[in-house]
Structure 1
């Protein structure tokens, strides 16, 4: 059996962000629409040539051409905007300004997320009890959401040059937490990136499976624990923390 109970001692808890602490449904679509509106107003030559689907296709092309940045969603989006600007005839400082303005309005709108009802209660319960970290493959910034006070550290693929399930991400998290991997509980919704990655590194992996999905056939089964809500996990963690004292 690959499903197993969590065990003490627990000295740190790390969280994925998108679809773990907040709902990202429709957010990226909205952010891309905001970005497109900025392009229509400020850089109409780009907007006339590339709609949202066109920009997405261009990013895919850039990712294929430069696999070294394929994990870095920020670098990839910036590179796509730069390519679009170049093809529309922009260059030099004007091109740099286009990339900065378009990316910034996208990034701000990308943070218009809705936290799940059970997220803040769990984070508050963990404050001062264990080290708490955020691990994301995206470009969400807890500080931009005013949530930095809940975390002792935050790591992103943008910063690390690697994305979950890479061992580098979880190794860096363990170093930041300052405790052995076996004493860290990692929580995430993505079976491959979060559960498989964390378990393979030796962490106690928790699959947050809000919708009762089945384990994907293409992902090797690994030891993990499964919960349907963060509220369910909160009681488990508080009990483990007391047992770890």
Structure 2
């Protein structure tokens, strides 16, 4: 399905909210590398826990147990992972005090990202024209990633207490930008969480559809723009 290049009303845009994972960089290579760094650290200090973390069963079970016992952590992926590590340490008979330094190993590696080739040119273009707000369900830190200079603020599911596609997180991001929700263009890669969520919150939205996926059924409203990459979005915005 194709969409008109002219549907974005650039005159309304006073700020941009921008997803991070899989919009500015591919997330799963980063998470896999961080998981491996965590397992290597545990293998040297708590090998029984390392074995549980690698067996493919214990960690998902621990995660379900954490979410059942601590539902207030549902939107805080970092806090969930910390508690999962603590659960695994206890289950293995290792010292649960190792949970914090173990998580720190994961978290540091999680901030080492490999940007898409179009990311920095797009950030240069967008930040020169609009206030940018990072808006993510994940726990990437734009400061530690090295991109803080582009963003006026960062809103995460953990800080907002709700996750995309909940309209409230989009409203929180608009407030961080100091503009009305209808004056924001949201940019993100996920059709449901980003594009449909932002539309439901009253924003214009640009879906960065790198995989050329179909727009999911069941949504009456389509994004104002669908682009293959951020370079195409910048060209679109410069032509409107």
With normalisation by structure 1, the TM-score equals 0.88
CA deviation map 1:65-102 (0-9, x unaligned): 43332221111101101111222234xxx523x11111
3-state DSSP class of the match of 1:135? strand
Distance 2:36 2:86 in 1: 18
3-state DSSP class of the match of 1:155? strand
Aligned 8 A contact 2:208 2:226 in 1:
yes
1:9 to 12, 33, 39: 12
Q: Which runs of 5 or more residues in structure 2 are unaligned?
A: none
Alignment of 1:103-114 (within 5 A): 103-114=103-114
Aligned 8 A contact 1:77 1:103 in 2:
yes
Higher RCO (CA < 8 A, seq sep 6+): 1
In structure 2, the residue matched to 1:33 is 36
Kindly indicate whether residue 76 of structure 2 is the aligned counterpart of residue 72 of structure 1: yes
CA deviation map 1:15-52 (0-9, x unaligned): 11011011123221221111011111012232244425
1:221–1:72: structure 2 CA closer, same or farther, 3 Å change rule?
A: farther
3-state DSSP class of the match of 2:213? coil
1:69–1:227: structure 2 CA closer, same or farther, 3 Å change rule?
A: same
Aligned 8 A contact 1:12 1:183 in 2:
yes
Offset at 1:182?
Answer: 1.8
1:137–1:88: structure 2 CA closer, same or farther, 3 Å change rule?
A: same
CA deviation map 1:155-177 (0-9, x unaligned): 11121111101112111111111
Aligned CA-pair RMSD? 2.0
In structure 2, the residue matched to 1:95 is 96
In structure 1, the residue matched to 2:27 is 24
Distance 1:149 1:64 in 2: 38
3-state DSSP class of the match of 2:142? coil
Q: How many residues align?
A: 235
